[in-house]
A = this chain, B = another copy of it.
Amino acid sequence: MTDAPPPRRATIEDVAARAGVSRAAVSKVLRDAYGVSDAMRQRVTAAMTELNYRPSIAARAMRGRTYTIGIELPDLSNQFFTRIVRGATAALDGTPYQLILAPAEPGSGYGYRALEALVDRQVDGLVAVSPRVDEDALERIAASVPLVMFGRLDRTERYDVVAGDDIAGGRLAMEHLFALGHTRIAHLTLRDEDPDAPFPHSGRLREYLAAMTEAGLEPEIWPLSDAEDPSYDAARRAIEGGTRATALFAAHDELAFGAMRAIAEAGADISVIGYDDVALSSHPAFSLTSVDQPGERMGARAVELLLERVAGRTEAVHEVFPVELKVRASTRPPRA
């Protein structure tokens, strides 16, 4: 019926030739710019379809937008992050933006390479999910691309922040355990976590320490090892070491699952509370009490903020989302 499309990818030039107009005209149709007659729009659109034309993102990137939003993710195996992505995907639905994810490399300072890779690829907006990167570096990045920090409570005017209320969450968890009558409560968190750092786990750790101290109790930290299954291993060591803890506050649900494995194997009686309320936490096999963060809403909000920035907003927005305790069977009064 029509000429076969060229073997190489059609360019704006090909479309222009086929529609009998100039390249600029095609570009205008493409960008919905001002000053195109209906007739021309028709012809150009038809030509695009016939040639199966798709604009080159690279060429566009040289001049302006890439229509790409990037998310740097620290840990694919933590299901909380899939909640974020789900929300972000939903928020982008119907917009011309495409989402791409870059997994953080492991190790200290992780996330930096992924963030740089995304910047190099000229994403129009960037969500950094609690990377272990200093604020200076982030501010530098934010100077060249709209940035939303997810999870960290950085106090900066250079980029937006979307985070859960880790202080309130930590407090909820501890009050719940206290209310059940626990006094020997351990906390499972990253090794060498600094309670004063801006990371999500820092806030939870800080609240744990504060709550224990206020109650006149002795804190007991179970630090993650670098074994293959760090949370399992940390719990196993603690149990083998003869811990007297009757309850464990895990910094997030995946860590709680690992600890529960060790607890189950040892036949120990230790209540466990997690954080994030991932999908499996409500599964009867776990029935894990957890502090729920609205991951989907937070992910969606992060993307909205980015689009606002792209549209011109310049003042920073910092939003803290409320958390909610989900009580389940994994926490119960101490035995005896």
Residues of A within 8 A of B (CB): 7, 9, 54-59, 61-62, 66, 68, 76-77, 79, 82, 85-86, 89, 98-103, 105, 116-117, 120-122, 143-144, 257, 260-261, 264-265, 279-280, 283-286
Pick the most buried of A57, A122, A264: most chain B CB atoms within 10 A of its CB: A57
A102 touches B103 (CB 8 A): no
**Can you sample 7 A-B contacts with CB below 8 Å?**
A57-B122, A58-B59, A58-B121, A62-B62, A76-B82, A100-B101, A100-B102
Q: Is the CB of A68 within 8 A of B121?
A: yes
Q: A100 to B68, alpha carbons, bound, how many Å? A: 12
A77 partner, pick from B55, B59, B82, B264, beta carbons under 8 A: B82
Q: A76-B85, A285-B264 are in contact. Are A120 and B54 (CB under 8 A)?
A: yes
Q: Could you say which of B89, B116, B284 contacts A265, with CB atoms under 8 Å apart?
A: B284
Name the distance in Å between A255's Cβ and chain B's nearest Cβ. Answer: 13
Task: Kindly state the separation between the CA atoms of A144 and B62 in the bound complex, as whole angstroms.
Answer: 21
Do residues A280 and B257 form an inter-chain contact, with CB atoms below 8 A?
yes
Q: A141–B54 Cα gap in the complex (Å)?
A: 13
Residues from chain B with a CB closer than 8 A to the CB of A120 are: 54-57, 98
Instruction: Report whether A76 and B77 are in contact in the complex, using a CB–CB cutoff of 8 Å.
Output: no
Residues of B within 8 A of A265 (CB): 284
Pick from B57, B98, B100, B260: contact of A285, CB below 8 A: B260
- With contacts A68-B121, A264-B284 known, what are 17 further pairs, Cβ within 8 A? A56-B62, A57-B61, A57-B121, A58-B59, A58-B122, A59-B62, A76-B82, A77-B79, A77-B279, A100-B102, A100-B117, A101-B101, A121-B121, A257-B285, A260-B283, A283-B285, A285-B285
Q: Which residues of B contact A99 (CB under 8 A)?
A: 102-103
Query: How many of these chains are in the complex?
Result: 2
Contacts of A101 in B (CB 8 A): 100-103
B76 touches A103 (CB 8 A): no
Residues of B contacting A144 in the complex (Cβ-Cβ under 8 angstroms): 9
Chain B hits for A58, CB < 8 A: 57-59, 61-62, 66, 121-122
Are A261 and B284 in contact, CB atoms less than 8 angstroms apart? yes
Cβ–Cβ < 8 Å partners of A261 in chain B: 283-285
Q: A66 contacts which chain B residues (CB < 8 A)?
A: 58, 121
Q: Which residues of B contact A143 (CB under 8 A)?
A: 7
List the 9 closest A-B pairs by CB distance, nearest first: A58-B61, A285-B285, A101-B101, A76-B82, A264-B284, A98-B117, A58-B58, A100-B100, A57-B120
Instruction: Give the CA-CA distance A260 to B283 in the complex, in Å.
Output: 9
Chain B residues contacting A105 (CB-CB under 8 Å) are 89
- Identity of the chain B residue whose Cβ is nearest the Cβ of A118 in the assembled complex: B100
Q: Which residues of B sit under 8 angstroms from A100, Cβ to Cβ?
A: 100-102, 117, 121
Across the interface, which residues of B come within 8 angstroms of A279, CB to CB? 77
Q: Kindly list chain B residues whose C-beta atoms are within 8 Å of the C-beta of A79.
A: 77, 79
CA gap between A121 and B102 in the complex, in Å: 14
Q: Which residue of B lies closest to A71 (CB)?
A: B101
Q: Which of A66, A79, A117 has the most CB of B within 10 A?
A: A117
Measured between alpha carbons, how far is A284 from B59 in the docked complex, in Å? 53
The closest CB in chain B to the CB of A278 belongs to B77
